[in-house]
Structure formats: C-alpha cells, structure tokens
C-alpha cells in the first residue's frame, strides 16, 4: 500500500540482484547426519535447513498403528536463532500447520503400503530462515526419504513464486516475502506431474494466478535437477553431468 519502498528497480532488478525468473543460489548435500536413516541439508538463498528421516520403525503409541500402511509423521521446526527476533522454541500455530502440509506434500510420493504397521518420521529443522523455508524443507525431506531407502514413486520438489511490486516473480527472499504482496509455495512430483502442495496468499488476478503457478513449477523443475544431482553425488560419486549446477533462470 501507499508509500512502500520499491522491491524491484526500474531496470527489473530485485533486492538481491536477481531478475524476476531467477532462483537464489542453492546447495544440497545428502547424508550428513549419521544417526538418522536418511538425511539431507539444503541451502536455499540464506535458508539453511536440515532434514532427517527415521523409519520404518515401531509406532508409539500403539493405537496409532495403521493396519494397511505406514503412519507418516512430520515435524517442521524453526530454531530460536533462525529469525531476526528470537523465536519461542515451542511449536507455533504456523509450524503446526506447516508440519501438516509438508507431511501431506510428501505422503503421495511414499509407497506407505509397503510398510504396514510401521512409522516413518520426518524432521525438518530450519537453522536459518530466509523466505520459502517450507518448500526448501520439502525438497530436503524428499532427499532424506530417498537416502533412508524408503520406497517412493517420485521425488517431491518445492519452489515458490509470488507477487512483488505487482509483478509475478520466482522464489521470494525474506524481504520480498514480508513486504511483497503475495506468496505461492508449490510442491510437486516432477515425473508424475502431480501437485502435492499448494498454498496461496496475496492478491492474484486469474491471469497472475496462472502465471505464478506455472512459474513455480518451472522453477521447481530446475531445483529438481539439482536435487537429483545431490542424490547421484552421494551414491555414485560425481554425477554424469559435469557442469556445475548454477541457479539459473
């Protein structure tokens, strides 16, 4: 509203120097935590997130057991020092909601029927938050799940888009997330072409809604290539493609 500072310059450059369709620098690494059955670390801009998977394991309490498939649990949590003002470490309503949507974004990819009566637990810890932490968390969790050897139909990759200064842009950073006028996190299974998470806030004309949604999918496909490479690096040394993955447009 009114006299807000501009987040995109007249030349089309964003606060961190990117164009509208560019991702932030991304780095992923698989298998950092030795105790977990699977783990992954992701840096997505200034986001620093670690994801770990335990399972399949016994279900506690027993009455939660599902007779025909695994019980999937997910906890998304932000470290108290991950944001500008110290965050109370107790789970907030936001974190409870995000834990739920992350779980529901990953569950379609898991072949939970292969693990009846078992639990699979996914932990996402945001060490530093920079806008788009849920989608980066999903990308990392999906890597951790495959690192744990859980049977999956596809990887799940997350990417967000949004509206900044009236324009549809890819991958909002912290400032754009807080001061921009809309944020649309999307997660999907790239090979099956199925959307597993969609959240919308902000004001989107029908045309901008379509544009933002398609942009998030396009961005996600780029992230997917890096995600795939991170897995190949872990299990086959360096991956076949030798060009280093850059956050490209």
Q: Is 156 helix (H, G, I), strand (E, B) or coil?
A: coil
List CB contacts of 237: < 8 A, sequence separation 6 or more: none
Residue 93 is a binding residue for other proteins (CB under 8 A):
yes
**Nearest approach, Cβ of 24 to other proteins (angstroms)?**
22
Q: How far is CA 197 from the centre of its chain?
A: 10
Interface residue with other proteins among 193, 237, 243, 248 (CB under 8 A) is 193
Interface residue with other proteins among 58, 113, 114, 201 (CB under 8 A) is 201
What is the spatial distance between Cα 161 and Cα 185, in angstroms, rounded to a whole number? 6
**Nearest approach, Cβ of 92 to other proteins (angstroms)?**
10
Choose one: 43-51, 96-104, 167-175, 224-232; the region binding other proteins (CB under 8 A).
96-104
Interface residue with other proteins among 108, 158, 180, 219 (CB under 8 A) is 108
What is the spatial distance between Cα 191 and Cα 238, in angstroms, rounded to a whole number? 23
C-alpha torsion 144→177→97→38, nearest 10:
10
Q: Which residues inside 142-171 make contact with other proteins, applying CB under 8 A?
A: none
Residue 35 is a binding residue for other proteins (CB under 8 A):
no
How many residues contact other proteins, by CB under 8 A?
41
Phi and psi at 168, nearest 5°, equal -80, 125
Q: Both tokens of residue 107?
A: 């569950």
Q: Both tokens of residue 95?
A: 């974190």
What is the spatial distance between Cα 230 and Cα 142, in angstroms, rounded to a whole number? 12
Interface residue with other proteins among 100, 113, 166, 246 (CB under 8 A) is 100
Query: Which residue ranges make up the site for other proteins (CB under 8 A)?
Result: 1, 67-68, 72, 85, 93-94, 96-97, 99-101, 103-104, 107-108, 178, 182, 184, 188-189, 192-206, 209-210, 213-214, 217
């Amino acid at each position: 509203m009114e006299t807000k500072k501009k987040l995109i310059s007249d030349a089309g450059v964003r606060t961190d120097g990117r164009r509208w369709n560019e991702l932030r620098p991304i780095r992923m690494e698989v298998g950092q935590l030795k105790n977990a059955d699977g783990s992954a670390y992701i840096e997505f801009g200034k986001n620093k997130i670690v994801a770990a998977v335990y399972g399949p394991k016994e279900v506690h309490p027993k009455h939660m057991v599902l007779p025909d498939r695994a019980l999937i649990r997910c906890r998304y949590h932000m470290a108290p020092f991950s944001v500008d003002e110290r965050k109370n470490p107790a789970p907030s309503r936001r974190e409870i909601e995000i834990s739920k949507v992350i779980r529901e974004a990953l569950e379609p990819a898991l072949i939970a029927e292969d693990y009846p009566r078992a639990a699979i637990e996914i932990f996402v810890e945001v060490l530093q938050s920079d806008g788009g932490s849920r989608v980066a968390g999903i990308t990392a969790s999906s890597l951790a799940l495959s690192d744990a050897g859980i049977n999956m139909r596809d990887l799940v990759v997350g990417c967000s888009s949004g509206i900044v200064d009236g324009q549809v842009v890819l991958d909002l950073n912290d400032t754009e997330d807080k001061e921009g006028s809309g944020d649309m996190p999307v997660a999907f299974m790239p090979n099956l072409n199925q959307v597993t998470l969609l959240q919308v806030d902000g004001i989107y004309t029908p045309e901008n809604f379509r544009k933002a949604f398609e942009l998030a999918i396009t961005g996600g496909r780029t992230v997917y290539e890096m995600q795939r490479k991170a897995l190949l690096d872990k299990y086959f040394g360096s991956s076949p493609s030798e060009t280093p993955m850059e956050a490209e447009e």
